Amino acid sequence: MDESEFEEYEVPHEFEIDVQTVVLINHKLVLESIDRAEAEEVAKLDLTDENQRGVATWIERQHDEFRRAANNLALVGLVTRFHHWLTFLANRIRDDKHKSFDRSIAKELRFLNSKFKNAPVEEAVFEKLVDVRDSIIHANSQASWKFRGTPRQIDPKFSRLDEVNFTEADLREAFQNALLAVGWYEHQVEQWVEAKYGPQVLLGGKPVGH
């Protein structure tokens, strides 16, 4: 590898590494295992027989459900890590007495957007993902439910037959939006902190103090 190749290499953002390690690599491995298991089950059948073709169709549907569950769990993990990073960034510009770890994603986004204008991804995009996450965790993946008497529902884009239908493509889009948002907010926070406190000392890639 020559020197120019080193110059072209872009180090992934820590959020990207975090999500890849905790969520996406596991998701990929799970889907690969499901594909293998499905292929092995279907391979045992005689697909020239009409009855066994019916069994194959049933097997495929069952494994599609497994894939749907894997996508749902990955979305829960992604939203959790995104929430963690939003809180970390928001706390960097709060006074110590106002720092917190119990504010929702919606509240953290509103706080950050009150400080920094023209965010690249609208709050509503992430609020819809939170709705899906909440449905998966609290409502057995239903498209609509009630929480403490208040009706809630997910965006129709993420539902099918009154249930969550969060696809691999949806997961990729959600990850890219989260990555874009975290990178942008981080840049704004760094500028804010430097303007207020001066250049920051980094330890292990993270700022010391503020």
What is the per-residue pLDDT across 79-135, written as a single tens digit (0 to 9) for each? Answer: 999 999 999 999 999 988 788 888 999 999 999 999 999 999 999 999 999 999 999
Per-residue b or e along 105-132, where b marks 16 or more CB atoms closer than 10 Å to that residue's CB: beebbebbeeebeeeebebeebebbbbb
- Looking at residue 1, its pLDDT comes to 44
Element (H, E) at 145: strand 144-147
- Looking at residue 117, its pLDDT comes to 95
Distance CA 140, CA 127 (A): 19
- Looking at residue 199, its pLDDT comes to 76
- Looking at residue 198, its pLDDT comes to 79
Distance CA 7, CA 60 (A): 46
- Looking at residue 97, its pLDDT comes to 79
Given a cut of 50, whether residue 6 has pLDDT beyond it is: no
How sure is the predictor about 52, in pLDDT bands with cuts at 50, 70 and 90?
Answer: very high
Q: What does the pLDDT look like over 165-181, one tens digit per residue?
A: 999 999 999 999 999 99
Q: What is the mean pLDDT of residues 17-23?
A: 94
User: Count H helices, E strands: the chain?
Assistant: 7, 6
Given a cut of 80, whether residue 13 has pLDDT beyond it is: yes
Q: Over pLDDT 70: what percentage of the chain?
A: 90
How sure is the predictor about 7, in pLDDT bands with cuts at 50, 70 and 90?
Answer: low
Q: HSE-up of 72 (CA within 13 Å, CB side)? A: 23
- Looking at residue 200, its pLDDT comes to 64
pTM > 0.85: yes or no = yes
Q: At what angle do helices 123-138 and 105-115 cross, to 10 degrees?
A: 170
Amino acid type, 82: F
70, two tokens: 């894997």
Grouping H, G, I as helix, E, B as strand and the rest as coil, residue 93 is coil
Given a cut of 60, whether residue 9 has pLDDT beyond it is: no
Q: What is the mean pLDDT of the chain?
A: 91
Centre a 10 Å sphere on the Cβ of residue 75 and count the other Cβ atoms it contains.
23
Sequence spans of domains, the chain: 13-195
